[in-house]
Amino acid sequence: MYRFVENEQFNYEILLALGSAWQQGADVGEVLAAASAVARTPSPDGESDGSDGSSGAAARWMSTWTALARSARAQAEKCAADGHRVSARQAFLRAAGYFGTALVAVDGVPDTGARLRELFAEHRACFDRFAAAADPPAERVAVPYEDRTLPGYLFGPPGGPERLPTVIVNNGSDGPISAAWTLLGAPAVARGYRALLFDGPGQQSMLFEHGVTFRPDWENVITPVVDFLTARPDVDPHRLVLAGISQAGYWVPRALAFEHRLAAAVADPGVVEVAESWWRQLGPELRALWESGDRDTFDRVLNEALAESPALAATWRWRATPYGIDSPFDLLTEVAEYTVAPVAHRITTPLLITDPEGEHFWPGASQRLYDALPGPKELVRFTEAEGAALHCEPLGRAVFEQRVFDWLDARLGPVADG
């Protein structure tokens, strides 16, 4: 649809940032200026214009978005000091989003671990300031989970402590919590829902700060979240929604197959087999080699390919780290376990599945998931002609919110808009 830089992932992140402006997660002018700077700045080694995902491009991506994030944070701190609460809140959210965008390239720069810890701490500190300045302020929560807790934020609309329907916002594989807010949390609160944002295993703080990796049996994550919410006096236990973005298009239906206390759910988009997105990048020859079971040869061939392409290696590390597995063969064997096909017949919760035109991670999966469901279901298409194409509809947020939340309102009953 729109091309700002050559690298596909970087270009998509720019689209996401532009779309987040709908919920004040970015400023269009700031994002366009940053995108232009990334694309036009000469590479120090003279080998790249900065748009193709090379190591020089990764460093430039991080420095550009980090500088923008720190500028927005400085604005926020000054506004807060001067008593301008609304301006401070908006600037802290923009800063959090820009830090999150910067982190996309962290695996392509030297000293990855130190840079990640530094930028993630700045990102989360800005989101904490935004959450504290919300109206009303968000509640920092800790959801009991096995032998630890999952960190989260419970947002709500202005008004009294009456029991309200609540959306559990399930983030994707690598998105920052600021994106979970702009994509699902903010529109939920604007319509009178509470919204719980949390980090599950392998996501953001659980991964970066505690080393807790993904797990395929996501019902063991969502059931503790449901337990936590149903015990609260300000949550209506009969009007709980589970809504997920990106890879959560797998985690949501997986959880629904076992957790039946949810009134409705949303998968944006639908995912049947997570591994499909990996094989689209690797191709049929490598898949055939993996299927042969020749672990040593597969690892050697893939590691040689990664050594020849720093950009590909950085993307691989970014996507692989949440699984905590070094061997490429073993990693893909683990990813193959992330399939909803064996349990789809157990899903009875009404489920809305988005089906965006141009879906580039799991094309066709939304329809396959829809066809596999035995219970109430809705397949909602989004098109390029209406500006709402691509994975998670980055530029069609108003259209997405109207269709998805009107469907939820119809399922759950009237909810007073905030």
For 184-225, the DSSP string reads IIHHHHHTT-EEEEE--TTSTHHHHTT-PPP-S-THHHHHHH
- 330 plus 370 within the same structural domain: no
CATH code, domain carrying 34 = 1.20.1440
Residue 133 binned pLDDT confidence (cut-offs 50, 70, 90): very high
Q: Sort residue 53 into left (φ over 0), alpha (ψ -120 to 50) or beta.
A: left
- 298 plus 160 within the same structural domain: no
In a domain, 104, yes or no: yes
Residue 40 binned pLDDT confidence (cut-offs 50, 70, 90): confident
- 139 plus 125 within the same structural domain: no
Residue 415 pLDDT > 90: no
Query: What's the average model confidence in pLDDT over 137-161?
Result: 95
Last residue of a domain, one of 130, 164, 187: 130
In a domain, 417, yes or no: no
Round to whole Å and give the CA distance between 15 and 31.
9
- If one compares 414 and 76, the residue with the highest pLDDT of the two is 76
Residue 275 pLDDT > 60: yes
Give me 68's structure tokens. Answer: 């923008």
Query: What pLDDT is stored for residue 227 in this prediction?
Result: 98
Round to whole Å and give the CA distance between 43 and 59.
10
Q: Which residues pair with 197 in a beta bridge?
A: 153, 169
Q: Where in the sequence is the domain holding 316, given as residue range(s)?
A: 276-335
What is each CA distance from 138 to 105, 106, 212, in whole angstroms? 30, 29, 25
Query: What pLDDT is stored for residue 414 in this prediction?
Result: 67
Q: What are phi and psi of 245, to 5 degrees?
A: -120, 150
Express as a percent the part of the chain with pLDDT over 70: 95
Residue 45 pLDDT > 90: no
Mapping DSSP onto H, E and C, the string for 92-114 reads: HHHHHHHHHHHHHHHHHCCCHHH
- 147 plus 193 within the same structural domain: yes
The mean predicted confidence, pLDDT, of the chain is 94
Query: What pLDDT is stored for residue 50 in this prediction?
Result: 41
Q: For the segment 158-208, what is each residue's pLDDT rounded down to a tens digit?
A: 987 789 999 999 999 999 999 999 999 999 999 999 999 999 999 999 999
Last residue of a domain, one of 298, 316, 335: 335
Residue 328 pLDDT > 90: yes
Residue of 116, 7, 112, 4 lying closest to 57 (CA atoms): 7
Q: Sort residue 282 into left (φ over 0), alpha (ψ -120 to 50) or beta.
A: alpha
In a domain, 1, yes or no: no
Round to whole Å and give the CA distance between 384 and 399.
12
- 29 plus 16 within the same structural domain: yes
Distance of CA 17 to the CA centre of its chain: 12
Q: Kindly give, in sequence order, each residue whose CB lies less than 8 Å from that of residue 245, ignoring residues fewer than 6 positions away.
A: 170, 171, 172, 175, 179, 180, 183, 184, 268, 392
Q: What are phi and psi of 240, to 5 degrees?
A: -100, 140
CATH code, domain carrying 162 = 3.40.50.1820
Q: For the segment 302-327, what is each residue's pLDDT rounded down to a tens digit?
A: 999 999 988 889 889 999 999 999 99
Last residue of a domain, one of 64, 99, 130: 130
Q: For the segment 56-112, what is each residue's pLDDT rounded down to a tens digit?
A: 899 999 999 999 999 999 999 999 999 999 999 999 999 999 999 999 999 999 999
In a domain, 248, yes or no: yes
Query: What pLDDT is stored for residue 416 in this prediction?
Result: 55
In a domain, 270, yes or no: yes
Residue 418 pLDDT > 60: no
- 359 plus 222 within the same structural domain: yes
Give me 167's structure tokens. Answer: 């959306």
Decide: 11 and 5 in contact? Cβ < 8 Å: yes
Residue 369 pLDDT > 70: yes
Query: What pLDDT is stored for residue 161 in this prediction?
Result: 73
- 318 plus 229 within the same structural domain: no
In a domain, 65, yes or no: yes
In a domain, 418, yes or no: no
Query: What pLDDT is stored for residue 312 in this prediction?
Result: 86
Query: What pLDDT is stored for residue 53 in this prediction?
Result: 46
Give me 385's structure tokens. Answer: 């002609």
- 352 plus 300 within the same structural domain: no
Give me 74's structure tokens. Answer: 């400085």
- 180 plus 208 within the same structural domain: yes
In a domain, 358, yes or no: yes
- 162 plus 230 within the same structural domain: yes
- 241 plus 343 within the same structural domain: yes
- 321 plus 172 within the same structural domain: no
Round to whole Å and give the CA distance between 96 and 177.
9
Query: What's the average model confidence in pLDDT over 199-222?
Result: 98
Residue 46 pLDDT > 50: no
Domain count of the chain? Answer: 3
Residue appearing with tokens 């076992």 = 258
